Structure 1
């Protein structure tokens, strides 16, 4: 896929001036730079993305493969809820078409008299993308088995709608109903999560409602309970057996911290596709259409956020508000004798799972403010330039093209910037791109700021808009600053 003309359009939209010399795209690709704050240091940054709602689907998938202890026995109330819902529960498995070896396993539940059932998209994604080499099957709590077909997906909310191949396979089993949206949940209200943990049998795990996850772009329920591997796609019910949400992910760096997709999205998927025909081909067209809607909403929401003060005395640096991102910072220790820096990393917890090892639909922003007065101008220039070149922009793989990068100088109200913009195209999700923008200030001989912006899974037009928005975030803190 050829991208030079697209890049030229993106860069011209940002009103950049040509710069001499090769950029990172012309040099040998270095090793990726590690994130600023580890999960152990930050207590969340890396861990959040590992189990990010709404099942940063990667986290949801990992939640289904990591072995953990089964949930404790339920209370009498939990037993009543389970027994009432038992006939509507299924285990969903993806098998290789030519044999019975399973590729994925999760849970699901009936939501219509016609036999429609809901599960997570990440439970069936292998089949959804490779239907010619895989098949879907179900098992019920009383030993029933059969084949399933995929009706539709909601990839942004990690949901899938299925139906049995045999039309009357679930006849007489009933269906779970959704709790009306007008009946608000109280914080601490008892909830009951159902599924097949660790593939050892259907069970119920009790927990509590703790509101919606804060700073999440997509609404996600914080469930104060344990979700074990294999329970993804199962229902979480209130005391009257009504669906509150769909099990989707759990945090492995904490206890009793799990996440649910709000039931309203499962209900909307059912209502939208109840009469739809099965998907017999790879679901890339449906996923692409949904991702284009998702990225449009994400771009508008992000650009609407004003940049906040980074606390730098010389520069205005684009640091996003934490409405749906989490920012973590670190700096060199006070006794440091060499290059000193302060670093900020801002990342979204919410990511859209596409397949194992590949998620998209999120934004990240970071910067590093360097002070090299202890090094002197020559040594600082070497370190500063090396840091800029060390940025990894990706490589050609099964999902994305190799990056096409252009480098230019940018003038932001008299503040000289060196800017590199790289664009990668999605191979299967046509019309979506990954854009990375790398910026360095050039006005000082022993100090400066370098920043990086990444947007994953956006249209070309929104890649342009986001690039311009990011570059506009750099400026002097005060016009007088330029003379210092």
Structure 2
């Protein structure tokens, strides 16, 4: 039969925190492979054309000025396990009391397992110390830390903290902005790029930045020509050039104002994480349920295709294969997911519709192919984050639609009580040589919203009038 397509992963992944520096050419067993395309540097010989060109290369006066002005507030955020680096990211000082902004995914190991992981910082000059976690915003992938203790290094960083650009002074598309951080645990760096407005069709605002940010720069500041914070490094587009994404600075400022007087977090952050995810899924589900379905063009059926308000849809068709089968596929998916830990991202919706025409096969051969396509849909298995799927199957007959065979499956989150992953598989059973196979997915929703989303999806199947 036709194999079911793999569900597309979000095209905007979180920047992975950089692994610690490797001690040998291949690093320790299990260490991530180097990023594709990372060049191996070979020193030029004095007097060669290459070295002369490098010497004559123009240096951005603005980038140099802004980095020199801001470097005292930059720091590398290190997660330690048994005294050794488990991962590294970046951060920056935003108050005289030593508050530090970074990404949630940079400190997630410590947040979820504080008894095993601890946080430290290091400055561009090599000074360091401890950090404590005050609060986080998992939806925006932000965390608020504070420097522990007083030292000459801490005094230098907090003397002139970075400030946020005023919300009433928005950037214009094309303005130069500057990303800072410590890529791949190599050295602190500044990357000059361009502000290109907000990402279209995104549920939450995300800045599109034309500049190359790399693992290890996660959580670093992005500043304007005046040295004021406009965004925070967070993610990049896979297999693209200079397509990076930033959290708007207003959300980091809101986290600072909300929690600057907070006491350090004690114990694992699962209860607070659950509270934030429950609020997010409620808003996401409510917005999605309020949208009417679009539909594919078909002489017999209406199929539920979501609006592209905060989803992207791709369509494809296959020519008649050797057996005489034709198929048309539409896939829609939110491209932004919420980071929980290294193995789990959640908080998104997806829809896939496949339409089959087997009139040239005949009823028996079409039934064989069509049934195989339904059977090979993967539903996941138990893992450390979620249970195995629990499924219910039934035949559904609606007043305005064809008879359907439907399977609904839930996978519960082990440490986020009340949240589940929903998968709904649907196929029509009214025609001997025509069929439709639909798949709806909702990651990280409540049982009540899973029920409403299932009903909403099933009601999207109807006869064509």
TM-score, length basis structure 1: 0.85
CA deviation string 1:372-392 (max 9, x = no partner): 111110111111111111111
Q: 1:73 to 1:287 in 2, by over 3 A?
A: farther
Whether the 8 Å CA contact 1:422–1:436 is kept in 2: the answer is: yes
Are the aligned partners of 2:18 and 2:87 in contact in 1 as well (CA < 8 Å)?
no
The answer for the alignment partner of 1:202 in structure 2 is 188
Say whether 1:422 aligns with 2:409.
yes
1:154 aligned partner: 137
Report the counterpart of residue 441 of structure 1 in structure 2: 428
Shift of 1:421: 0.5
Report how many residues are paired.
Answer: 428
Match of 1:179, SS?
A: coil
The correspondence of residues 102-141 of structure 1 with structure 2, limited to 5 A, is 102-141=85-124
Do the aligned partners of 1:220 and 1:259 also contact (CA within 8 Å) in 2?
Answer: yes
**Conserved in 2, the CA contact under 8 Å of 1:63 and 1:249?**
no
Give the C-alpha shift of residue 228 in structure 1. Answer: 2.0
- What are the Cα deviations for residues 384-423 of structure 1, in whole angstroms up to 9, with x where unaligned? 1111111111111111111110101111225100011001
Please give the root-mean-square deviation of Cα atoms over the aligned residues, in Å: 1.8
Equivalent of 1:261, from 241, 247, 266?
A: 247
Residue 14 of structure 1: aligned partner: none
Q: Does 1:165 align with 2:148?
A: yes
Aligned counterparts of 1:146 and 1:309: Cα–Cα separation in 2:
57
CA contact (8 A) 1:74 1:205 kept: no
1 CA distance for matches of 2:323 and 2:428? 23
Say whether residues 1:477 and 2:460 are aligned partners: no
Q: Is the Cα contact below 8 Å between 1:114 and 1:167 reproduced in 2?
A: no
Selected match of 2:265 from 279, 287, 291: 279
Q: Distance in 2 between matches of 1:218 and 1:63?
A: 25
Structure-to-structure mapping, 1:293-372, within 5 angstroms: 293-334=279-320, 336-372=322-358
Distance 1:128 1:255 in 2: 32
Aligned equivalents of 1:199 and 1:394: distance in 2?
Answer: 35
Change (3 A) 1:74 1:157: farther
Q: Is the 8 A contact 2:134 2:263 kept in 1?
A: yes
Q: Is the 8 A contact 1:115 1:167 kept in 2?
A: no
Greater relative CO, 1 or 2 (CA 8 Å, sep 6+): 1
Tell me which residue corresponds to 1:377.
Answer: 363
Aligned-partner SS, 2:119: strand
1:18 match: none
Q: Paired residue for 1:466? A: 453
Question: Within 2, Cα distance between the matches of 1:210 and 1:63?
Answer: 26
What SS does structure 1 have at the residue aligned with 2:173?
coil
Distance in 1, matches of 2:61 and 2:212, equals: 18
Aligned to 1:132, what secondary structure does the other structure show? coil
Q: Could you tell me which residue of structure 1 aligns to residue 384 of structure 2? A: 398
Cα distance in 2 between the residues matched to 1:350 and 1:300: 18
CA distance in 1, matches of 2:432, 2:173: 55
* Aligned-partner Cα distance in 2 for 1:172–1:345: 52
CA distance in 1, matches of 2:257, 2:132: 17
1:44-68 Cα shifts (integer Å, max 9, x gaps): x65xx24x1xxx4xx3227877536
Which of 35, 44, 66 is 2:6 aligned to?
35
Unpaired segments of 5 or more residues in structure 2?
20-31, 40-56
Aligned to 1:145: 128
Contact 2:17 2:106 in 1 (8 A): no
Q: CA deviation at 1:85?
A: 0.8
Evaluate the alpha carbon distance shift between residue 405 and residue 132 of structure 1 in structure 2; reply closer, same or farther with a 3 A threshold: same
C-alpha deviation, 1:334, in angstroms: 4.8
Aligned: 1:61 with 2:48? no
Measured in 1, the distance between the counterparts of 2:230 and 2:344 equals 28
Is the 8 Å Cα contact of residues 80 and 117 (structure 2) preserved in structure 1? yes
Alpha-carbon shift at residue 144 of structure 1 (Å): 1.3
Who is 1:40 aligned against? none
Q: Which residue in 1 is equivalent to 2:83? A: 99
- Cα separation, 2, equivalents of 1:305 and 1:73: 52
Structure-2 change in CA distance of 1:279 and 1:33 (3 Å) = farther
- Matches of 2:358 and 2:18, distance apart in 1: 44
Specify every segment of 5 or more residues in structure 1 that has no aligned partner in the other structure, as ranges.
1-31, 37-44, 479-484
Distance in 2 (CA, whole Å) between partners of 1:167 and 1:462 is: 48
